[in-house]
Amino acid sequence: MLKLKRKGIASLMLLGAISGIGFTTTKASALSSSATKYLTATQKTDNKPTTTSKKVDREFDKVGMSNLTALTLDGQNDTLPNAPATDVFYTTSAVKASNGASKTVTLGKGSVVSGTVFQKGTFTVYNSRLSKKNQSKVFKGLGTKLPGSAISTTNGTPLTKYTKNTAFANNGVRNLIDLQEKGLQSYFDTDCANNPFITVTSDNYLNYYTTSYKSGSNANYSKISQSVKIKKFTRGTSNYTYYLSKPLAGFGTTKTRVGKTYLYKLKVSLGHVFMTHDNFNHDADGFRITVNVGSKKFYAPLGNVAESYAYTLQGKTFAKFDSAKAKSYIQGLQS
């Protein structure tokens, strides 16, 4: 159990315009007609399965949703990554936070937060994963419309590992990482900055964001396009199943009877593994894995270990990580 002693006041600092999902982004308007033509041809080719692409998909499908986070991890110096790090905590005392200006907000004792603990007592927390109450408090109190923020203290942040198993987390690790919606530009390493994304909050809401730029590069994420309460969650090895209080429009949720009430079922599973390309010279570069969320398609970036195995299955080598170790790692995740 992690316990970091808190002395001092936290400050809430802006990190970026896209919820801290970890994707490099660019404005959609930057896409030229030649790039659109190239991406359209790339997508058309990718949509035609080959013996090799089917083999790659089969191998990664065996890993299953419960190990999606493990597929996104990087290995360093040919050393395999450990299990996904704890990224869900609750605060053991109130945390005062500011955006570096005069405004402050307080996350109360017992607030569930998700992020990463760094050295020197710095904790990065993402607003989009807070409870809806705390999200509203941060957005209104600090005047920010961005979902990515950092809490920083000089002498530590008061956190303890969150061990409850809910739709949000399983033993201190989120069940579902934030996912960006798959689109034409997703075949480029740099996807569009205002791409829709989906996340689960600490109070078990499934949130779907579809913002667009309002003025220049200023995006407003304080308004969620759809937010639906998760009433029941099944964490299977191959699939996740969410039972929602109401339909999630456009996702193909199905009405089903659960006990004495009706809920709306949404199944989440791994899908097609596809290659990304450099935005400028169009060289094949990396891999992403499709995540089927009902009838919509999202994606997650593969870490360098998973990428190495994907290249091996294509009969190629990958300089960033040892292929034999990568094969052992991925096959060890398979059910």
Per-residue pLDDT of the chain (335 residues; tens, 9 = 90+): 333 333 333 333 333 323 334 444 445 445 789 999 999 999 999 999 999 999 999 999 999 999 999 999 999 999 999 889 999 999 888 887 666 566 777 888 999 999 887 765 667 778 889 999 998 888 888 776 666 555 554 445 788 999 999 999 999 999 999 999 999 999 999 887 778 899 999 999 999 988 766 666 666 666 778 999 999 999 999 999 999 999 999 999 999 999 999 999 999 999 999 999 988 888 888 999 999 999 999 999 999 999 999 999 999 988 889 999 999 999 999 97
- Compute the distance between CA of residue 197 and CA of residue 121 in angstroms, rounded to an integer: 29
Write down the pLDDT at residue 136: 86
* Rounded CA Rg of the chain: 20
- Compute the distance between CA of residue 277 and CA of residue 42 in angstroms, rounded to an integer: 9
- Compute the distance between CA of residue 71 and CA of residue 140 in angstroms, rounded to an integer: 36
- Compute the distance between CA of residue 132 and CA of residue 321 in angstroms, rounded to an integer: 40
Phi–psi pair at 247, nearest 5 degrees: -65, 150
Is-contact 296 208, C-beta < 8 A?
A: no
- Compute the distance between CA of residue 217 and CA of residue 267 in angstroms, rounded to an integer: 34
Sole residue written with tokens 């996104």: 72
> CB under 8 Å to 262, separation ≥6 — which residues?
255, 256
